[in-house]
């Protein structure tokens, strides 16, 4: 029996070549749904995509900010291509209503891209000192987990219902031509540098963002079956209001990323339908070059041969071969076992499975 080729089955596109340009105008006429789009780089996404001709439906818990953003962009573009719909991502029915309204507002009656952007940070109750003299602790507030994890799962579930129903869209493909296939099926997840590394004093936030990365890596394995492409952004600390004063003191002397670089990375994913199953980290813009001996990146001067300036990094370029080395090795062993047992082993297991279904093996 043939062994399972995980990378081929995932149908992941090649590593992103950031030197290849994309055209932001490829978002024109797409309908984009974004949660948490009333502030931060969510609002920056909305402004950029609306100005390039997309219809954007903004879901946010802040009615004042969301409504003001929609009115501002409708006036600027001269078109009703930005709409605000109140949405509490922690409330299932609120998200259901948001998606239904988005479909109603869409010029073509469908959704091309869903951006699961809503997220919060703040003091984390998990590590706040508590009175050890009481008989039992009070129930903690896990709002950060509710928004950043459960809310994202709600958004993802609804995306996989509505995206395949997008009229005149075609299943995602490595051979897609973004100039000829405006109807898309795309889910963009917002992770964080905390998806890839621990974040001090923020266990809830770190756990939630690790969960988003796990969601992305699991979805991309089978997402092509629904014709949906899935990608992820993992911003470093970006200069927005979500970075608290305390965090700014801790980060003093270092550098934070810029909103425009997050928008650039997000627009590349939304606009270019050829990108499937990829992620980008967005950090401070630096000049770097690769070392000759091992290919690792290092800081460089702007006039150094082979150097380039970038704020974008692809963290999981070859993670099936490298980051998932243990899993890959296990799969190889299991494939070897499968090959050794052959069709006889397969038939025996099928008989056992049928027997188990009828309660004979319990």
State the catalytic residues: 205, 209
- C-alpha separations of 152 from 39, 146, 180, 190, 222 in Å: 17, 9, 30, 9, 18
CB atoms inside a 10 Å sphere around CB 148:
28
| Alpha-helix residue ranges (DSSP H) falling in 92-202 | 92-105, 143-145, 151-162
- Which are the contacts of 291, defined by CB distance < 8 A and separation ≥ 6? 297, 298
| 99 close to 158: Cβ distance less than 8 angstroms | yes
171-175 own/partner pairs: CB under 8 Å, 24+ apart: 171/224, 171/226, 171/227, 172/223, 172/224, 172/227, 172/228, 172/229, 172/273, 172/276, 174/11, 174/13, 174/274, 174/276, 175/274
| 268 close to 275: Cβ distance less than 8 angstroms | yes
Buried b (16+ CB within 10 A) or exposed e, 214-228: ebbbebbbebbebbb
| 117 close to 233: Cβ distance less than 8 angstroms | no
Cα separation, 39 vs 60, in Å, equals 9
Angle between helices 259-271 and 40-51 (to 10 degrees): 50
């Amino acid at each position: 029996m043939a062994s399972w080729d995980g990378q081929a089955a995932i149908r992941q596109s090649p590593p992103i070549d950031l030197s290849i340009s994309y055209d932001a105008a490829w978002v024109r006429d797409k309908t984009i749904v974004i949660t948490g789009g009333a502030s931060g780089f969510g609002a920056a996404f909305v402004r950029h995509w609306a100005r390039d001709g997309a219809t954007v439906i903004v879901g946010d818990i802040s009615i004042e900010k969301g409504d003001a953003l929609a009115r501002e962009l409708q006036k600027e573009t001269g078109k009703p291509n930005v709409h605000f719909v109140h949405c509490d991502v922690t409330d299932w029915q609120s998200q259901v209503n948001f998606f239904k309204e988005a479909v109603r507002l869409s010029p073509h009656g469908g959704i091309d891209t869903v951006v699961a952007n809503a997220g919060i940070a703040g003091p984390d109750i998990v590590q706040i000192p508590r009175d050890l003299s009481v008989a039992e602790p009070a129930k903690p507030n896990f709002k950060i987990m509710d928004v950043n994890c459960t809310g994202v799962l709600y958004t993802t579930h609804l995306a996989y219902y509505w995206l395949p129903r997008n009229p005149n869209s075609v299943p995602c493909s490595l051979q897609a031509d973004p100039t000829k296939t405006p109807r898309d099926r795309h889910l963009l997840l917002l992770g964080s540098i905390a998806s890839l590394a621990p974040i001090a004093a923020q266990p809830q936030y770190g756990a939630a963002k690790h969960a988003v990365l796990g969601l992305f890596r699991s979805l991309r394995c089978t997402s092509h079956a629904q014709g949906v492409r899935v990608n992820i952004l993992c911003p470093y600390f970006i200069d927005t209001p979500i970075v608290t004063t305390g965090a700014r003191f801790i980060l003093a002397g270092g550098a934070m990323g810029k909103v425009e670089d997050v928008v650039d990375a997000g627009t590349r994913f939304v606009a270019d339908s050829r990108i499937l199953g990829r992620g980008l980290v967005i950090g401070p813009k630096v000049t770097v070059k690769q070392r000759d001996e091992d290919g690792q990146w290092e800081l460089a001067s702007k006039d150094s041969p082979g150097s380039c300036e970038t704020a974008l990094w692809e963290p999981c370029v070859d993670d099936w071969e490298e980051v998932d080395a243990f899993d890959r090795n296990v799969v190889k062993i299991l494939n070897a076992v499968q090959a050794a047992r052959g069709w006889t082993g397969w038939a025996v297991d099928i008989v056992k499975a049928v027997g188990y279904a009828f309660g004979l093996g319990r």
